[in-house]
Structure 1
């Protein structure tokens, strides 16, 4: 076998492979012999079909299959052994392959076009610093969060007059019913926040014992809301139209929870805090913890941006555009590929950079690491807290393994989780090598930073 790499430029090359009978004949002969043992042909005992007949029947297809298999392995092995920065897939010279005379040739020549990334290196000491933002929760953010919690843990109160956000209870009766028919009647509740704005004025300010006449489909034009207000099925609500009267029996509303021990215990757990000052301090911690995750994500993006902007890499642009058109089989036009190419090229460069970092830092991912991440995902998804319960842990482990080994999606669950762990380890390593500057920002300042990214 003869293999030659011919580089036309830093980013384009041809890989030429020549095969002689010494390369493929031993394996082809072995497979023909195996076929001869298994093939069944009328007039011959099993395993006694003449080799010449087996060759005539199956020789060509076995030869083609064996050479294709050998080429695939050879190209992949050559790229690995020579550490070529190949992007996209090697593209075979199809005209050359189609011209082969499989019946008479014994030597075979093949050629592959390769797209290469230019050589590059990463020196973390030459890279600029990145900023890690520490988000400080101010009074406005704390007050807003507490107000939301007070609404979430609201109490119920009875009102004297109907307000815009109230729920009113009473009896709903249909008006102008045809003679001999029974009009609709039901004890029900009308939620004011689901009522059309133009109809609310008929109810706001009314008191217990008052009756309101209104057009039902105007008050509740949405049939789902009308069904909820009347208590009928959605398909039946469409037929409920016209004037109705509603006699008000009761008025209820949500009152924000008071800042007391009962509220503190509901939000944070019994005995977690003892007064409002401690409660506000805990709220600050929760807010900053939530934003810490967003800050970590922004830091990750900034690290990737720094690596991309400071690592010059040339790509075989025309080769990649043609490859994208080919592998997507007509899903995109050349114009669409051109439009999206810059983003694609950035993703290719970033992956090359991460692979280089992983290679230099000897970063590897073990199966147990992938399994641990999946176990944590299962715990979060099903609400399983960390526990010493052996049976529970066995259940979590079984679910995690089944998820990773799911054959229905051809191992994609394992691959995606592996890539996630691999990517996380590279970013964590990069954090240790880059200079990181901490900066305090307010919530609004951080939001502005995110928007500008």
Structure 2
């Protein structure tokens, strides 16, 4: 087998492979002989089919099969022999075929990972959050739990801040009515919806009253036909409701699987959950810092275009799905910059792991999966599901490996401890996550 590699760009390689025809013809004949042992051909006994008949019946399909397998195997050998690091699957130039009396020759285009200089972790400066869960944090979470179980009761009069209103409406845009038939229903809390113009439109109404106004809908409005649009809206205020919060009593406590019904046990459970959340947020915060440092140091790093295209497509589809739109019709264009950043960050973290021989810790993977599973009613089945689905398992393994990289860097970097509150760490981690 002959191999030649041509550089077609910084990260593009053209690999040409030539395999002697004799080798392939020998494989084809061997396959035909194997077929002849069990082939059922009318007029011939099993194992007695003449080679000429076998070639007429199966020769073309066997040759295609041998060529395809040879291409796959020889490409793998070429990649290993030339020490290439493919970033995606090779793309063949045309359909490889075996000419009569000739050799198999084909060319493949391969996009490779960039070469990254050794990253000196000791030269990195990092801040580690120094925070703990306080009684105030627990009190705040208990209040949040009460809000999650709040009930709404009808009241009379015009809506006041903190009250919930229910609305039915139709909107006329330049593109037509939304919805096309019937009326759309909406519920929002006065002072919390972020849609000030709509809140103002219903502020002087009582339940059952109607009005007509012109509204410009927010760009992120959930109804795709109205997002960012200006429309003439006919709306009816169908209800005004007031919030009622449950008391933290035995029944309330037991509803969170605290069988004792004791407030002390609920507070302990809340503390454990918040401490777990704090640990995860601290890791996310430090990972975001590490990513920023790496991106600053490698601002000119070129990354595989195919990876950026795939990531932009995935981001666009995820965004479209979250808005109830057809993900297959999503435009990846607006997501290219974010995809480039994500791909570059992922490559640099993976490079840190590769350069320093950081391997995935199976025990940490198991612990992470069990932590996820504990949030479900049937944790054992969830664990089995993760280990039975390579996509789910791979996502957890990647996350764990990145955590290991962060831990490894923190042991060597210049680390400054920064006192922070629980809420500050959570907010910082959330903001960092949106920037990734």
Identify whether the pair has TM-score above 0.5, normalized to the shorter chain: yes
The answer as to whether partners of 2:308 and 2:339 remain within 8 angstroms in 1 is: no
Q: For residues 303 and 272 of structure 2, what CA distance do their matches in structure 1 show?
A: 46
CA deviation string 1:183-204 (max 9, x = no partner): xxxxxxxx8x420442899xxx
Per the alignment, do residues 53 and 296 of structure 1 end up closer, same or farther by CA in structure 2, a change over 3 Å counting? same
Q: Which residue of 1 aligns with 2:48?
A: 48
Q: Which entry has the higher C-alpha Rg, 1 or 2?
A: 1
Question: How big is the shift at 1:104?
Answer: 2.3
The answer as to whether partners of 1:21 and 1:106 remain within 8 angstroms in 2 is: yes
Q: For residues 285 and 445 of structure 1, what CA distance do their matches in structure 2 show?
A: 18
SS in 2 for 1:23: helix
CA deviation string 1:180-223 (max 9, x = no partner): xxxxxxxxxxx8x420442899xxxxxxxxxxxxxxxx8699xx
The reply to whether residue 39 of structure 1 matches residue 39 of structure 2 is yes
Q: Which residue of 2 aligns with 1:118?
A: 114
Q: 2:383 aligns with which of 387, 400, 407?
A: 400
Per the alignment, do residues 423 and 143 of structure 1 end up closer, same or farther by CA in structure 2, a change over 3 Å counting? closer
Q: For residues 315 and 416 of structure 1, what CA distance do their matches in structure 2 show?
A: 21
SS in 1 for 2:285: helix
- Decide which moves more: 107-116 or 337-346: 337-346
Question: How big is the shift at 1:436?
Answer: 2.3
Q: For residues 78 and 128 of structure 1, what CA distance do their matches in structure 2 show?
A: 38
Q: For residues 437 and 374 of structure 1, what CA distance do their matches in structure 2 show?
A: 31
SS in 2 for 1:269: helix
The answer as to whether partners of 1:39 and 1:47 remain within 8 angstroms in 2 is: yes
CA deviation string 1:242-287 (max 9, x = no partner): xxxxxxxxxxx878669xxx9x9822239x99xxxxxxxx998976
The answer as to whether partners of 2:286 and 2:406 remain within 8 angstroms in 1 is: no
CA deviation string 1:293-348 (max 9, x = no partner): 3222211222223223323522354x6678889999xx879x94443333333333
Per the alignment, do residues 300 and 110 of structure 1 end up closer, same or farther by CA in structure 2, a change over 3 Å counting? same
Q: For residues 7 and 78 of structure 1, what CA distance do their matches in structure 2 show?
A: 15
Q: For residues 101 and 38 of structure 2, what CA distance do their matches in structure 1 show?
A: 28
Per the alignment, do residues 148 and 37 of structure 1 end up closer, same or farther by CA in structure 2, a change over 3 Å counting? closer
CA deviation string 1:129-180 (max 9, x = no partner): 121222367897576456667x6899xxxxxxxxxx9xxxxxxxxxxxxxxx
Per the alignment, do residues 256 and 376 of structure 1 end up closer, same or farther by CA in structure 2, a change over 3 Å counting? closer
Per the alignment, do residues 322 and 52 of structure 1 end up closer, same or farther by CA in structure 2, a change over 3 Å counting? farther
The reply to whether residue 315 of structure 1 matches residue 309 of structure 2 is no
Listed as ranges, the gaps of 5+ residues in structure 2 are: 161-205, 210-243, 254-259, 317-326
Per the alignment, do residues 402 and 336 of structure 1 end up closer, same or farther by CA in structure 2, a change over 3 Å counting? closer
Q: Which residue of 1 aligns with 2:352?
A: 357
Q: For residues 128 and 409 of structure 2, what CA distance do their matches in structure 1 show?
A: 13
Q: How does 1:298-377 map to 2 (within 5 A)?
A: 298-311=285-298, 312-317=300-305, 336-365=331-360, 370-371=365-366, 373-377=368-372
Q: 1:195 aligns with which of 154, 171, 174?
A: 154
Per the alignment, do residues 338 and 18 of structure 1 end up closer, same or farther by CA in structure 2, a change over 3 Å counting? farther
Q: How does 1:261-276 map to 2 (within 5 A)?
A: 266-269=262-265
Per the alignment, do residues 322 and 284 of structure 1 end up closer, same or farther by CA in structure 2, a change over 3 Å counting? closer
TM-score normalised by L of structure 1: 0.59
- In the alignment of these two chains, the number of paired residues is 333
Question: How big is the shift at 1:60?
Answer: 2.0
Per the alignment, do residues 86 and 60 of structure 1 end up closer, same or farther by CA in structure 2, a change over 3 Å counting? same
The reply to whether residue 419 of structure 1 matches residue 398 of structure 2 is yes
Q: For residues 443 and 369 of structure 1, what CA distance do their matches in structure 2 show?
A: 24
SS in 2 for 1:47: coil
The answer as to whether partners of 1:38 and 1:47 remain within 8 angstroms in 2 is: yes
Q: For residues 366 and 443 of structure 1, what CA distance do their matches in structure 2 show?
A: 28
Q: Which residue of 1 aligns with 2:68?
A: 68
The reply to whether residue 13 of structure 1 matches residue 9 of structure 2 is no
Q: For residues 386 and 310 of structure 2, what CA distance do their matches in structure 1 show?
A: 33
Per the alignment, do residues 18 and 120 of structure 1 end up closer, same or farther by CA in structure 2, a change over 3 Å counting? same
Question: How big is the shift at 1:426?
Answer: 3.0
Q: Which residue of 2 aligns with 1:432?
A: 411
Q: For residues 271 and 307 of structure 2, what CA distance do their matches in structure 1 show?
A: 50
- Decide which moves more: 78-87 or 283-292: 283-292
TM-score normalised by L of structure 2: 0.61
- Decide which moves more: 423-432 or 2-11: 423-432
SS in 1 for 2:420: strand
Listed as ranges, the gaps of 5+ residues in structure 1 are: 155-164, 166-190, 202-217, 222-252, 274-281, 385-395
Q: For residues 81 and 375 of structure 1, what CA distance do their matches in structure 2 show?
A: 41
Q: Which residue of 2 aligns with 1:295?
A: 282
